[in-house]
């Protein structure tokens, strides 16, 4: 058990809908990262938050947004969903954001199916 | 331009050592080498990381070549639970963890 909690484990929805994925980082970790894993793209970094502030952006679509709350949990919002958004979404956390060398702890993911 | 190169797949027998190679010929002096693995239906899991010297922990050993252009992850006695995709990642300062395609390790009983 990594200590990172993601809910829900599975989500099935329809095209055009909006969903919210939730992540609770390990106790004491200030950084939260979101990754998307699909069969054709592999594991892709989406976005990072550190202590409530956006720290880095990766391949995140404009239809997607995230935030980190004062209690350090994070939510990833996916809107206007398309079939191609079906993927595993992982959250990870680390103690800080020292740039390049931090060790990440991953949750077990949310499997999103868009029908 | 791939930062690291790994074989797509490898096989090992249970209870035998496994050497997973990784090439990172364009590595710079301050880049770290990280290894993560992803077991079936789970999120990636940190294995080990190093800069120049060989590193050991309870999970594995990391042998880094003297010129740092390659490294090898060593599992001393493979178990069935070690069957996973192993990712070798070169990390520069400011980088975010970027996963390639990794090596899929199969362990035969």
Q: State the pLDDT at residue A97.
A: 62
For the cut 60, the answer to whether the pLDDT of residue B42 exceeds it is yes
φ/ψ of residue A88, rounded to 5 = -95, 130
Size of interface A-B (CB pairs under 8 A): 51
| Tens of pLDDT, residues A57-103 | 998 999 999 999 999 999 999 999 999 999 999 999 998 766 557 78
The answer, for A70 touching chain B at a CB cutoff of 8 Å, is no
Q: What is the DSSP letter of A103?
A: P
| Tens of pLDDT, residues A61-72 | 999 999 999 999
Q: State the pLDDT at residue B96.
A: 78
The pLDDT of B25-53, averaged and rounded, is 91
Q: State the pLDDT at residue B85.
A: 97
The answer, for B93 touching chain A at a CB cutoff of 8 Å, is yes
| Tens of pLDDT, residues A3-57 | 999 999 999 999 999 999 999 999 999 999 999 999 888 899 999 999 999 998 9
**For residue B104, which residues of chain A lie inside 8 Å, CB to CB?**
none
Q: State the pLDDT at residue B16.
A: 96
**Nearest C-alpha in B relative to A39:** B101
The chain-wide mean pLDDT, for chain A, equals: 93
DSSP for B3-61, please give it: S-B--SEEEEETTS-EEEEEE-TT--TT-EEEEEEE-TTS--EEEEEESSS-EE-SS-E
| Tens of pLDDT, residues B52-96 | 889 999 999 999 999 999 999 999 999 999 999 999 998 887 777
Cβ contact B43–A106 (<8 Å): yes
Q: Which of B50, B75, B71 lies closest to B61 in space, CA to CA?
A: B75
What pLDDT band is residue B48 in, cutting at 50, 70 and 90?
Answer: very high
Cβ contact B93–A92 (<8 Å): no
Q: State the pLDDT at residue A89.
A: 98
Q: State the pLDDT at residue B104.
A: 97
Q: State the pLDDT at residue A35.
A: 96
Q: State the pLDDT at residue A84.
A: 94
**Nearest C-alpha in A relative to B87:** A43
CA distances from A73 to A11, A33, A47, A115, B87 (A): 19, 11, 14, 28, 27
């Amino acid at each position: 058990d990594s200590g990172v909690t993601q809910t829900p484990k599975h989500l099935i929805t329809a095209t055009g809908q909006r969903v919210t994925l939730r992540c609770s980082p390990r106790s004491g970790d200030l950084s939260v990262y979101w990754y998307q894993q699909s069969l054709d793209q592999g594991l892709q970094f989406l976005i990072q938050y550190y202590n409530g502030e956006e720290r880095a952006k990766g391949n995140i679509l404009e239809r997607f947004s995230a935030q980190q709350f004062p209690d350090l949990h994070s939510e990833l919002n996916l809107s206007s969903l398309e079939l191609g958004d079906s993927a595993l979404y992982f959250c990870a956390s680390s103690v800080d954001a020292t740039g390049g060398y931090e060790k990440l702890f991953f949750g077990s993911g949310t499997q999103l199916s868009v029908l | 331009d791939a930062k690291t190169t790994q074989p797509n797949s490898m096989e090992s027998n249970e209870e035998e050592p496994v050497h997973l190679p990784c090439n990172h010929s364009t590595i710079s002096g301050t880049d770290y080498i990280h290894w993560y693995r992803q077991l079936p239906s789970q999120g990636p899991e940190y294995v080990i990381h190093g800069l120049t010297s060989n590193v050991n922990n309870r999970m594995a050993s990391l042998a880094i070549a003297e010129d740092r252009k390659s490294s090898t992850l060593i599992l001393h006695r493979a178990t069935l639970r070690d069957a996973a995709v192993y990712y070798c990642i070169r990390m520069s300062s400011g980088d975010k963890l970027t996963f390639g395609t990794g090596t899929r390790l199969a362990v035969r009983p």
